[in-house]
Amino acid sequence: MKTIREVCEAFGLTPRTLRYYEELGLLTPVRTETNQRRYDKKELAKLKLIARGKRFNFTLSEIKEMILLFDVDRTGRAQLERTIEYGQEKMEEIDSMIEELKTIRRELSWLDRTFREKLEELKGGE
């Protein structure tokens, strides 16, 4: 059970940020008898998910949905079916993101080649 500052240092965040995530319902740390936050393994796992999501500039509300996905408390069948369906959507989104990134990558490669050729021309005419 880590304190807020320990978690902050581990993840490179500020206390304000952790409290904000809690305010949005992304984190649910327990409280000590004197009202201080304590973070268990599950909260730390959520923070890893948040970090990954942020690297792709997902919004916090999108990340919240994904956290609910990873939240294993859902046992009911309807819930489970909804979860699978939602995961399906997310996978399709990610697939198309990958495709588009590959396209950008190809375009950049092309630019790179033409620029290098141009540079060779300049060098040749020296």
If one asks whether residue 80 binds its own copies (CB under 8 A), the answer comes out as yes
Planar angle of CA 97, 20, 54, nearest 5 degrees: 20
- Out of DNA, its own copies, none, what residue 28 binds, judged by CB under 5 to 8 A for its kind, is none
Cα(58)–Cα(60) distance, integer angstroms: 6
If one asks whether residue 59 binds DNA (CB under 7 A), the answer comes out as yes
**Environment class of residue 61 by beta-carbon count within 10 Å: exposed (0-12), middle (13-18) or buried (19+)?**
exposed
Identify the residue among 1, 45, 51, 98 touching its own copies (CB under 8 A). Answer: 98
Minimum distance of its own copies from residue 37's CB (angstroms) = 27
If one asks whether residue 5 binds DNA (CB under 7 A), the answer comes out as yes
Give the three-class secondary structure for 75.
coil
Per CB under 7 A, residues contacting DNA are: 3-6, 14-17, 19-20, 24, 32-37, 54, 59-61
